[in-house]
Structure 1
Amino acid sequence: MRILFKTPLRCAAILGLAMSIAPIARSAETICEPGAYGAPDQDVVVLEAKDWIPSPGLGYLILDGRYGSTLAPDSPVSCGRGYVILKTETSGEVRLEQRVFKRTREEIPVADAVLVGELVEPTGAGVAPIRPLVVMVHGSETEPAIGNNRAYLLAAQGMTVFTYDKRGTGRSGGFYTQNFELLADDAAAAMNHAQSLAQGHFSRSGYWGQSQGGWVAPLAATRSKVDFVAVGFGLVTSPIDEDREQMLLEAETLGLNDHEAAEIRKLSGTTATIVASHFTRGFEALESLRRKTADEKWVHLVNGEYSGDMLRMNDSDLRRVGRAVFDNLEIIWDYNSTTTLNHLNIPILWVIAEQDRQAPIAATTAALRRFREKGKAIDVYVFPETDHGMYEFVQAPDGSRRNTRVTEGYFRLIGNWITGNSQVDYGRAVLLPTK
């Protein structure tokens, strides 16, 4: 979860149902159109322009988690006028009609800024007039959120979705920040505005927060009237804990010994004092550790979110520019979601990537298990062999990873849990037991 999808989709065509069909010849001359294709009870495909794909190609994201370029020779997506042909992994080829969405662009005054958001509502025959309302709370990325493909993937599953550019990004004003308190206020304002826009047309409302949004969304839920919170690959523990657990995971991967792991824990405690004080104290202890470990090999191998870089920066530079480098985004370093979750009495979904390197899961899984044992209404799903972002990956001999797809079942799980549709099979997901 690094401390620190894009072109708006044009979705205008006739709503239709998918049908199983015989293999259809793919036309190289047909230009794909941005939009979402499919209906709530079908496969769904979202097409959008991507900087890394030359025109006339588009990026595709499928409900089953596959993504890529429509220009790729092995693309499972081919296009017709107002529809796509999708090669499924289990049912051959199906035809999916382009969806119609009502899009309402809005401005939301918040503290020292005006946020710009968009309400996306499915329309057309067969669309339920009353449906869940979801406000998306994004992670630490600085890209605009309006028009991203995951929002349309949700909307195509039969819910109203509100997404907004965070302050200091996209069309929204203000300065970019990672202050969870301020971001939670913004998310609550977005929810209140979305509920007003969709008044009389939603059955229940709540947040879907991913990555850093896993800290912000539950906090926002304490400041607004909502019915649920869904979190993907987020943490209960603090940014300080995240940094430490990242380094210990790196140590395990590198095969470091117990002494080296103990030194890493000391490093985490030392840097925690510095960042939690916003670089006003703790430098002497870090300098002492820096001198003591100067000749140790692990010093040059571990990183975490910030501790490795702080250790390798000399004392005078760290005192002089450390805050500007590491603490310029108003992060609440010791923020922990435990108190927030204790105050929530609404259903919560928490989805975990088992092999998450950016947000190691051990402490979060343990905390969520304790909440469940106390009777808290938290459904916890763990997807095996999955990294941050819910990505499946191929790992090279040197330990580096290449993402291959979003794990099958993740998007369907989010959609079904929010809409209340029952389904047992979500790919390889495992529902965490109470004990």
Structure 2
Amino acid sequence: MKYFLGAVALLSTLPAAAAFAQTSACAPGTYGSPDGDFVVMVKSPAVAAPGLRYLFRDGRRGATTDAGVPFACGTDEVTVGSKPWSRIAFRETPATFDSVGTKMTGVLIEPPGNDPRRPLVVMVHGSERTSPIGGVYGYAMAAQGISVFVYDKRGTGGSEGEYTQNFELLAEDAAHALDQARSMTAGRRGRAGFFGGSQGGWVAPLAATRTKADFVAIGFGLVASPIEEDREQMVSEVRAAGLGKDAEALVSRLSQATAGLLLSDFHTGYDALDAVRAEMKDKPWAAKIEGEYSGAIARMPNDMLKRIGRARVDNLELIWDYDAVAALRKLDTPLLWVLAGEDREAPIETTRGALLGLAKAGKPVDVYVFPDTDHGMFEFTTNADGSRSATRITDGYLKLLGDWIKGNARGAYGRAERLTQR
């Protein structure tokens, strides 16, 4: 998840959908059909004005300035096919709250009406520094009849403090966000809990041990430590290259060596790293190994690592050997975990095993995997050099999240495979 480099987004070249010519007349908003389908349109720094970023419930996404946009915009409605979809009149309420002496900013998004059974979800975001306020995902949840509280992580957007990736501190922030959201929705909500994406898979379950949460939903997160993630990423790389078990064992030793440096604040562990470097020296493929951080560490000389290694790699207070399973064992809260079957950022092998073990032990865990998807639940095409280009969010993912949070997940969700039964 690129801790020390900030968030890494899957940059996509989106295929044009043939239906309508591009239009610049679209207004930001969420537009819904009578049967519950929707499209969200928001301003985005990635899309030049007057264009907007759009996202459908089925995962199609793009910009309104693309050729072949699959809708036409009118006044307070869009036309999809031959059918008009009306703007959904959300109620949006700005808020501030205190967390560990830090002023945080957020926004509560509520669907129309005052349903006392409507669920409330606090969105716990990944490692990105960009503000989730005004983004597509909060509105995509709200369009499914869920009250949503989004907030800026500390040190980003309108929230004060220093940006960090310390899970303990971020969990405190998330817990305070849920407390704030509960107070704002008293009398017009039912169950309340968290959704966490990517790094939020570490933070949201931990936050649920700090305050009362009725559910936790996770998308493409890990039940593994950052050290284990690094090892799994490198193992995934050598497997993709068809290099065999010896290469897997070698990169596992590299991860173990770099972990020694990280856990000692770069004071000790250089002999072990040098020994692995010596093994890798005659391997042509070794120069291309990345992992989460081990590839970069292996290519830096020891004198540089001693001087700036910590500042370069370990400057965000990450808990490298974080015990994700321990946090989940403390929870008896219903848990949804959605895995991306071909996730290169967060390989799923250890996570899937841990989740199935928790389910076998009687924890209320629902696990789904979407095949042929990468981090972010993106479908993709594979380029000639082995890199991937994201195309769309896989169909069924957003609906699964919405239905599960509302307590009525059933049936098929795109190509998802359900791994647990309760």
Relative to the length of structure 1, the TM-score reads: 0.90
User: What amino acid is aligned across from residue 34 of structure 1 in structure 2?
Assistant: P
Q: Kindly state the Cα deviation for residue 41 of structure 1 after the two structures are TM-superposed.
A: 4.4
Give the aligned partner of residue 8 of structure 1.
none
Alpha-carbon deviations, 1:8-45, whole Å to 9, x = none? xxxxxxxxxxxxxxxxx968777110011116841111
1:66 to 41, 60, 72: 60
The equivalent of 1:56 in structure 2 is: 50
1:259 Cα deviation (Å)?
Answer: 2.2
2:22/2:69 contact within 8 Å kept = no
Provide the residue aligned with 2:111 in structure 1: 122
1:171 aligns with 2:158: yes
Give the counterpart letter for 2:46 in structure 1: W
Matches of 1:311 and 1:28, distance apart in 2: 48
Distance change in 2, residues 1:41/1:283 (3 Å) = farther
Question: For residue 185 of structure 1, what is the aligned residue in structure 2?
Answer: 172
* Match of residue 384, structure 1, among 355, 365, 371: 371
1:159 aligned to 146, 150, 154, which one? 146
- SS of match in other structure, 1:202: coil
Displacement of 1:69 in angstroms is: 1.3
Report what 1:111 is aligned to: 100
Q: CA offset at residue 96 of structure 1?
A: 1.1
Matching of residue 360 in structure 1 with residue 354 in structure 2: no
Match status 1:84 vs 2:73: no
Whole-angstrom distance in 1 between the partners of 2:40 and 2:138: 10
What does residue 280 of structure 2 align with?
Answer: 293
Paired residue type of 1:95: P
Of 240, 264, 273, 2:260 maps to 273
Tell me the residue number matched to 2:37. Answer: 43
Q: Does 1:255 align with 2:249?
A: no
Contact 1:39/1:156 (CA < 8 Å) preserved in 2? no
Cα deviation, residue 50, structure 1: 2.2
The alpha carbon displacement at 1:434 in A equals 5.7
- The letter of the residue matching 1:2 is K
One-letter identity of the residue aligned with 2:97: I
Distance verdict in 2 for CA 1:227–1:28, change over 3 Å: closer
What whole-Å deviation, never above 9, does each CA across 1:51-109 have from its counterpart, x for those lacking one? 2333322111111100001122221121010001124xxxxx43210011111111111
Structure 1 stretches lacking a partner, 5+ long: 5-24, 88-92
Q: Is the 8 A contact 2:23 2:72 kept in 1?
A: no
Residues 42 and 134 in structure 2, CA contact (< 8 A), matched pair in contact too: no
Work out the CA distance in 2 between the residues paired with 1:116 and 1:27: 39
Secondary structure in structure 2 of the residue aligned to 1:203: coil
Instruction: Decide whether aligned partners of structure 1 residues 268 and 426 sit closer, same or farther in structure 2, where only a CA change above 3 A counts.
Output: same
Letter in 2 for 1:46: V
Aligned-pair distance for 1:129? 4.5
Mapped partners of 2:23, 2:387: distance in 1: 38
- 1-structure distance, mates of 2:314, 2:274: 19
Say if 1:419 and 1:314 are closer, same or farther in 2 by CA, change over 3 A. same
Instruction: Label 1:40 to 1:314 Cα distance change in 2 as closer, same or farther (>3 A).
Output: farther
CA distance in 2, matches of 1:181, 1:374: 26
Deviations 1:249-291 (A, max 9, x none): 0001112132222111111111111112222321221123223
- Superposed displacement of residue 130, structure 1: 3.4
Distance in 2 (CA, whole Å) between partners of 1:355 and 1:61 is 22
Relative to 1, partners in 2 of residues 1:56 and 1:30: Cα closer, same or farther, differing over 3 Å? closer
SS in 1 for 2:144: coil
Letter in 2 for 1:82: D
1:100 corresponds in structure 2 to 89
**Secondary structure of the equivalent of 2:191?**
strand
Which of 251-260 and 314-323 deviates more?
Answer: 251-260
For 1:165-187, what per-residue CA distance to the aligned partner results, in whole angstroms no more than 9, with x for missing partners?
00010010100000000000000
Question: Could you tell me how far 1:336 is from its partner in structure 2?
Answer: 2.2
Q: Secondary structure at the match of 1:289?
A: helix
Give the Cα separation in 1 of the matches to 2:133 and 2:420.
36
Q: Paired residue for 1:303?
A: 290
State which of 134, 141, 157 in structure 1 corresponds to 2:128: 141
Match of 1:400 in 2: 387
Deviates more, 1:102-111 or 1:405-414: 102-111
Check conservation: 2:117, 2:191, Cα contact below 8 A.
Answer: no
1:314 counterpart = 2:301: yes
The 1:40/1:193 distance shift into structure 2, 3 A limit, reads: farther
Structure 1 residues 334-349: aligned runs within 5 Å: 334-349=321-336
Q: 1:28 to 1:252 in 2, by over 3 A?
A: closer
- Counterpart CA distance in 1 for 2:232 and 2:24 is 49
Identity across the alignment (%): 49
Counterparts of 1:288 and 1:375, CA distance in 2? 44
1:56 alignment partner, SS class: coil
In structure 2, the residue matched to 1:16 is none
2:225 is equivalent to residue 231 of structure 1: no
Contact 1:167–1:175 (8 Å) recurs in 2:
yes
Could you tell me how far 1:345 is from its partner in structure 2? Answer: 0.5
Deviation, structure 1 residue 201: 1.2
Partner of 1:11: none
Q: TM-score, normalised by structure 2?
A: 0.93
Aligned residue identity for 2:415? R
Q: 1:377 offset after TM fit, Å?
A: 0.7
Is 2:28 aligned against 1:34? yes
1:40 to 1:226, Cα distance in 2 relative to 1, 3 A: farther
SS of the aligned residue for 1:333 comes to coil
Please tell me whether the aligned partners of residues 22 and 66 of structure 2 are also in contact (alpha carbons under 8 angstroms): no
Structure 1's 348 and 46: CA in aligned 2 closer, same or farther, altered over 3 A? same
Letter in 1 for 2:107: E
C-alpha distance in structure 1 between counterparts of 2:362 and 2:348, whole Å:
21
Q: Which residue of 2 aligns with 1:15?
A: none
The residue aligned with 2:15 is none
Q: Is the 2:21–2:68 contact (alpha carbons within 8 Å) kept by the matching residues of 1?
A: no
Residue identity in the other structure for 2:322: Y
Number of residue equivalences: 408
Q: CA RMSD in A?
A: 1.8
